[in-house]
Structure formats: C-alpha cells, structure tokens
C-alpha cells in the first residue's frame, strides 16, 4: 500500500486502524516502521481518598444552561420593550420591499436631459 505524507506531515491509514496505538521506528536508511502495541499500566491505579477538611465540589452547570438562564432573565426583564418593538416592527414593511418601491418610483420619474 502506497501512502503519501501530506503537507502537515501526517498520513492516513484508514478507519480500520482508527484508535490503535503504534510504535514508530525510524531506521537510519529512512524507513519508518509502525508496530502495533498494547499499553498495559505498570501499576494498578491508586485512588486517593478525599481529605476530611475538603468539601465536596458544588454541582456544576454547563455554560449552555447558564447562558440559557441568563437569556430567559433578560427577556423577562425587557418584556415591555420587546413588545413595543414587535408592535412597531409589525407596522413596517421589510427593507427590501421599501428599496424596491423607491427604485420603482425613481424609474417612473421622467429624467430631464440637457443637451
């Protein structure tokens, strides 16, 4: 199988090899050899107990839920202004329509040419 190294210095082996670990062996003659490996921890993981004087961490909320709550609060605080704007905007026609109408009125005007 022929693989080309891209501009970023990476090669793609395909999905079949995704998630596997390889030991890259660089030979003096320029060859690169990828050897599949399995990593086994040398020692069992040690779990330290939480010190008695430390308190448990508070429940953390995601940034998205914090932003949503702040958005809802802002909407509730500005409900009157939002209703006023929506009432005003409902009486207005879209900008594109106003421009189209203005251009039509300009085209309908007779142009005076000076010769």
Which domain covers residue 84, as residue numbers? Answer: 63-107
CB atoms within 10 A of CB 91: 6
What is the arithmetic mean of pLDDT over 32-46? 77
What is the arithmetic mean of pLDDT over 4-11? 85
Query: Which H helix or E strand runs over 108?
Result: helix 95-108
Domain count, the chain: 1
Q: For residue 115, name the pLDDT band (cuts at 50, 70, 90).
A: low
Residue 71 lies in a domain: yes
Question: Which one-letter DSSP state was computed for residue 21?
Answer: E
Residue 53 lies in a domain: no
Handedness of CA 67, 68, 70, 74 (dihedral sign): positive
Residue 46 lies in a domain: no
Residue 80 lies in a domain: yes
Residue 114 lies in a domain: no
Residue 95 lies in a domain: yes
Residue 79 lies in a domain: yes
Amino acid 36: pLDDT: 86
Q: Is pLDDT at 93 greater than 70 in this prediction?
A: yes
Residue 100 lies in a domain: yes
What is the arithmetic mean of pLDDT over 64-75? 87
For residues 108 and 76, what is the distance between their CA atoms, to the nearest angstrom?
Answer: 48
pTM for this predicted structure:
0.33
For residues 98 and 92, what is the distance between their CA atoms, to the nearest angstrom?
Answer: 9
Amino acid 78: pLDDT: 92
């Amino acid at each position: 199988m022929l693989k080309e190294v891209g501009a970023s210095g990476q090669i793609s082996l395909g999905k079949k090899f995704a998630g596997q670990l390889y030991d890259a062996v660089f030979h003096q003659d320029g060859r690169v050899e990828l050897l599949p490996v399995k990593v086994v921890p040398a020692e069992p993981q040690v779990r330290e107990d939480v010190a008695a004087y430390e308190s448990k961490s508070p429940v953390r909320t995601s940034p998205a839920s914090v932003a949503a709550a702040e958005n809802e609060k802002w909407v509730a605080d500005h409900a009157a202004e939002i209703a006023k704007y929506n009432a005003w905007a409902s009486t207005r026609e879209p900008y594109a329509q106003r421009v189209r109408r203005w251009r039509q009125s300009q085209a309908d005007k007779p142009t005076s040419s000076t010769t």
